[in-house]
Amino acid sequence: MITLLFLFNHPGLFAVIYFMSGLSDVLDGAVARKTNTQSELGARLDTIADLMLVAVIMGYLILRHGTEILPFVPWVILITLVRCVNLIIAACKYRSFAILHTWGNKLAGLLLFLGPPLFLISRNPAVFWPACIVALLSALEETAVHITSAQLNVNRRSIFMRD
């Protein structure tokens, strides 16, 4: 994924590595569950990789299409602030930094992953609205889960499901 930083000027190769990153992100968790090799370290590394991919893609979009995506910057800032608050809540409450693997977070990740290619194909920045809305709602859901949960369960699927 760091490789993507060096491929901004090579759109074809960028697209291949981008999609391979997404595919490996989906498959690594499924393979770990299937082979019973899940670990807390693996889950944390997956979260770090996800955050790095988001940072690379944001950098790419800002460098290449800054004026077109400018209306989404306040959303990105708001979502980032809510996510930071969630990390602080988790650190204070559970003595651990954690991002939950809720269905909302997974859907936000999928929409965020699909947004850049859809934008590059359609040239319509409106493709980012669903990702922004779902990302904000899932971040707020995560806040609610942290506030209402007695213990940390990073695999909690929703606020509507108990630990």
Q: How far apart are CA 51 and CA 25, in angstroms?
A: 12
The H helix count followed by the E strand count for the chain is: 5, 0
CB 86 within 8 Å of CB 51: no
Specify the DSSP element, H or E, that contains 45. helix 40-69
What pLDDT tens digit does each residue of the chain (163 aa) get? 678 878 878 888 988 998 998 888 888 888 888 899 888 888 788 888 888 888 888 888 888 888 999 899 899 999 999 999 999 999 999 999 889 989 999 999 999 999 988 998 899 999 999 999 999 999 999 999 999 999 999 889 999 887 5
Structure tokens at 39: 């670990």
What's phi and psi for 19, nearest 5 deg? Answer: -70, -35
The pTM of the full predicted model, rounded to 2 decimals, is: 0.86
Start-to-end C-alpha separation, the chain: 33
